Amino acid sequence: MIACFESDQNAKPADRGAGAAAGSRRVPSGRVIAAATCVSLALSLELPKAVADPIADFYRGKMIELDVGTGVGGGYDANARLVARHLGRFIPGHPTIVVDNLPGGGGIRAANVLFNRSSRDGLTIGTFSNAMITEPLLGSGQAMFEPDKFLWLGSATREDAVCVVARSSGVTSWSGLQDKEIIVGTAAPGTTTYMFPVMLRNMFGAKFTPVSGYPDGGQIDLAFARGEVQSVCQTYSSLKVAHRDWLQGGLASAIIALGFHRIPDLPWLETVSELATSEEQKEVLKVILAPTLAGRPLVVPPGVPQDRVDVLRHAFSAMVDDPSFRADAGRLGMDIQPAAGQEIDALVKHIYALPADVIAKTRMIVSRVLTK
């Protein structure tokens, strides 16, 4: 509340009295200006209270549900709970964020639910395996969602992969991998542990012989440690956390990186993107490597109002640069290499606009070892 007090030191007492009696005294021009200025100031100071923030008003006192496409524990769940602890601070209205686990189908269940059944008001966020980006193109056919219609908020980390080969194999470089057959452990066809080495063989001549049937990456790692297989292709973040000794202790050599850019910790290691020599190869790699950019993505379903999507994206970008968020991530052993929602969105839309023959060739390249 603004109180304005006026004073006319030049007015005569008789004038004041006469004005009061007659109610018609002429106010000096200086007082008119002062009064107008006071009113203007009062309005300007009161204006912020009168103009509401619809986004803050919407989120204030609300709860955002963050659906995770895995069970409790593991990388995706840990990443979701890290985000849940911090993201609300950067959203106007500061809503509470709670995590709900929806495991099943390697992320397919959560993606299906988010796309088809979740609310479209900005109060439901999801995260699931980055392989869901290409599941409708290269996967099992169980996808009931369209990745190019999701609204991607961003990822706190990229999930570049690396192929490592046991030193005991005698292969210590990419060129050596093109000269000698190496047994690589993989999970089922359709997983990145299978697609990456098969792609390297079919497109670039790596002499990988895949042995599939391992249920997950952990079992492949055990097989590598026991000498059952000579190579494994997995995310660098997993290798760094669980098997740092493989590289530092000289048990294995990193042969090739799988991502769009070189891994900061291994700047000397060539990426498969650098091997592409034709436009077709580059487009095929965009499809295969799209999950590495998405990392551990956050999305909202289609239909959420654009102003809320913009606010959530901005909040996510602010969060990943926040020192307390990064310190919390560091305590969990997580590297922060953010990918913006717009960057992921642009790549997803690009690969879903590719010609059908490029997609068909990509599917063939990652599905089985081709005979020359």
Tens-digit pLDDT profile for residues 159-176: 999 999 999 999 999 999
The ranges of the chain annotated as CATH 3.40.190.150 are: 55-158+295-337
CA distance linking residue 282 with residue 288, whole number of Å: 10
Is the CATH code 3.40.190.10 the one for domain 161-289+363-367? yes
For 41, list phi and psi in degrees, rounded to 5. -65, -40
**pLDDT of 249:** 84
**pLDDT of 39:** 44
Closest among 177, 161, 178 to 169, alpha carbons compared: 177
Residue with tokens 């020359």: 372
This prediction's pTM: 0.80
**pLDDT of 258:** 96
Query: What does the DSSP 8-state code read for residue 90?
Result: G
**pLDDT of 372:** 60
Q: Is the pLDDT of residue 367 over 80?
A: yes
Q: Mean pLDDT, to the nearest integer, of 62-66?
A: 98
**pLDDT of 247:** 86
Q: Is the pLDDT of residue 193 over 60?
A: yes
Give the CATH H-level superfamily of domain 55-158+295-337. Answer: Bordetella uptake gene, domain 1 (3.40.190.150)
Q: Mean pLDDT, to the nearest integer, of 60-76?
A: 92
* Residue 42 CB-density burial (10 A; 0-12 exposed, 13-18 middle, 19+ buried): middle
Mean pLDDT (the chain) is 86
Give residue 95's pLDDT band: very low, low, confident or very high (50, 70, 90). Answer: very high
Q: Is the pLDDT of residue 23 over 60?
A: no
Q: Is the pLDDT of residue 2 over 60?
A: no
Q: Is the pLDDT of residue 16 over 80?
A: no
**pLDDT of 150:** 97
CA distance linking residue 285 with residue 361, whole number of Å: 11
The ranges of the chain annotated as CATH 3.40.190.10 are: 161-289+363-367
CA distance linking residue 330 with residue 157, whole number of Å: 12
**pLDDT of 283:** 97
H-assigned helices in 51-181: 54-59, 75-86, 108-116, 135-138, 174-177
Give 110's Cβ-side CA count (13 Å radius).
31
Q: Mean pLDDT, to the nearest integer, of 173-184?
A: 93
Mean pLDDT comparison of 24-33, 43-52, 329-338, highest-scoring range: 329-338
Q: Is the pLDDT of residue 42 over 80?
A: no
Name the residue with higher pLDDT: 11 or 286: 286
Give 353's Cβ-side CA count (13 Å radius).
8
Q: Is the pLDDT of residue 111 over 90?
A: yes
Closest among 181, 128, 175 to 150, alpha carbons compared: 128
Q: Is the pLDDT of residue 325 over 80?
A: yes
Q: Mean pLDDT, to the nearest integer, of 57-64?
A: 97
Q: Is the pLDDT of residue 120 over 50?
A: yes
